[in-house]
Structure 1
Amino acid sequence: MKCNYCRKQVSGNLTLAEIFLPKRILTEELCVQCSEQFQLLTNKNCCGGCQRQNVQGYCRDCIKWQSLFPDYDFQHEALFSYNQAMQEWFEEYKFKGNYQLRYSFVSYLQTYFKKKSRFLVIPIPVSKERLKDRGFNQVAGLLDAAGINHESYLVRFSDGLSQVRKNRKERLELEQPFQLTKKGAQSITNKEIILVDDIYTTGRTIFHAAQVILEKKPKKLHTFSLAR
């Protein structure tokens, strides 16, 4: 087996299930050295809205969002810290187009979404221009690799620089870039929804997407990202 990220040989004893799923193991396994570089987030001593670490109560971003969306019970969860290792991983996956890396965190995503089985999963979309340039939607790629069903009920009609490449002021000033598809507008009322993004920074992208979904009165709306 080879590590999905660094491509070094991975040694270890295979389970019976792994013996009968060799292709899956070859594409999903991270070696111990790579795994240890990615920092899992905790639910203790963190912002009650966005899981920002080492915050008591709510961070300043979430206080702002609460004032703008007082009726929205915002709950964001993420798996990993957007540390240096994760930044480098996203550079390779998202910006250099190494699509094979969509398998890197399969087991983590499957474990998380197993608890969300009743939710309708909607990934944050990329624009047609970005999709043509990159060749894939990085969020949908992560979900597909983990075998998580999702619906493309949002479309992005404007683009520009990636959020990661914008400064804080540029992120917060971004105008509404999303709208629901016709099918999406007809399908989310009174449903439990989970919006999925790759990285959470200020929350601007998530709240834009949430805004158009909340207009259709879902039963519940949660948000999730791989990194925060």
Structure 2
Amino acid sequence: MRCLICFEQVLPKVDWTSFLTVQKPIKLCVSCMEKFAVIDEPGCKGCGRKDGNGLCFDCERWNRSEYSGVLEENVSVFGYNDFAKELVARWKYRGDFTLVHAFAEAVQTKYKNHFHGMDAELGAIPLSVERLLERGFNQSEAVITMLGASPHHFFKRKGNEKQSKRGRVERIMGENPFELIESVECPVVLVDDIYTTGMTVRHLARLLRENGCPRVHSFTVFR
């Protein structure tokens, strides 16, 4: 078996346990596993970033803005380090869709442990038609499916501008690029691959909260 990321051969551990129990397939080599910046205990309770204590400066600013209170929290699985950036580039932009299996188990475990018992709908982040054709899949829907759920499409995008091409100030000062097409009266978890400024999930959370949704959380693979 070869590592899904670096393609190095992975040799399974052989001992008495391996003979007596069913072993899970080994998907990653030790070197690649160690490059993931796992967020065990977030420093910021608002956005889930690993460093800091209490609320980070960004979350304090959000709490002083018109978006105060629209998002309960963001929960993320890994830090968005250089290794993660390359992994996401291969997965999302270069069509290496099988890489989703490299972090699937960790994502599933984190979601189950954190949101256990919550009766919530999982909301997908909409892509423009142009972006969907370019990538061939919606990464938000892919993560939701990985979690064993069906994506709910509460929103549609107004235009085709790519959020990742806009600077922080442009994102925060720009108008909401989404509109609500379906309201919901139960809690919602917005799911995406990366939390960067937090503007996207707050745009969406505000629309939901203004239309009857009691609580909105976000869950992302990387932070």
Structure 1 residue 53 corresponds to structure 2 residue 50: yes
Q: Give the Cα separation in 2 of the matches to 1:35 and 1:147.
A: 23
| Cα distance change, pair 56–130 in 1 and its aligned pair in 2 (3 A) | same
Check the 8 A contact 2:71/2:218 in 1, yes or no: no
Ranges of 4+ aligned residues in structure 1 off by more than 4 Å: none
What residue number does 1:220 align with? 215
Q: Give the Cα separation in 1 of the matches to 2:160 and 2:63.
A: 26
Q: Give the Cα separation in 2 of the matches to 1:36 and 1:62.
A: 29
1:136: Cα distance to partner? 0.6
What residue number does 2:176 align with? 176
1:161-172 to 2 correspondences below 5 Å = 161-163=162-164, 165-172=165-172
Which one has more relative contact order, counting CA pairs under 8 Å at least 6 apart?
2
- SS of residue matched to 2:171: helix
Deviates more, 1:55-64 or 1:206-215: 55-64
Q: Give the Cα separation in 2 of the matches to 1:149 and 1:108.
A: 19
1:101: Cα distance to partner? 1.3
1:153: Cα distance to partner? 2.2
Q: Give the Cα separation in 2 of the matches to 1:114 and 1:33.
A: 26
Unaligned runs of 5+ in 2: none
Q: Give the Cα separation in 2 of the matches to 1:12 and 1:174.
A: 51
Check the 8 A contact 1:66/1:72 in 2, yes or no: no
| Cα distance change, pair 168–6 in 1 and its aligned pair in 2 (3 A) | same
TM-score, with structure 1 as normaliser: 0.83
Q: Give the Cα separation in 2 of the matches to 1:42 and 1:77.
A: 11
Q: Give the Cα separation in 2 of the matches to 1:31 and 1:149.
A: 31
Deviates more, 1:104-113 or 1:63-72: 63-72
Q: Give the Cα separation in 1 of the matches to 2:22 and 2:40.
A: 32
Percent sequence identity over aligned pairs: 32
User: 2:193 pairs with 192, 198, 204, which one?
Assistant: 198
What residue number does 1:113 align with? 111
What residue number does 1:10 align with? 10
**1:89 alignment partner AA:** L
Structure 1 residue 100 corresponds to structure 2 residue 98: yes
Size of the alignment, in residue pairs?
213
Unaligned runs of 5+ in 1: 19-24
Check the 8 A contact 1:157/1:179 in 2, yes or no: yes
**2:142 alignment partner AA:** G
- SS of residue matched to 1:77: strand
The CA RMSD over aligned residues, in Å, is 2.2
- SS of residue matched to 2:39: coil
TM-score, with structure 2 as normaliser: 0.85
What residue number does 1:37 align with? 35
What residue number does 2:62 align with? 65
Deviates more, 1:31-40 or 1:138-147: 138-147
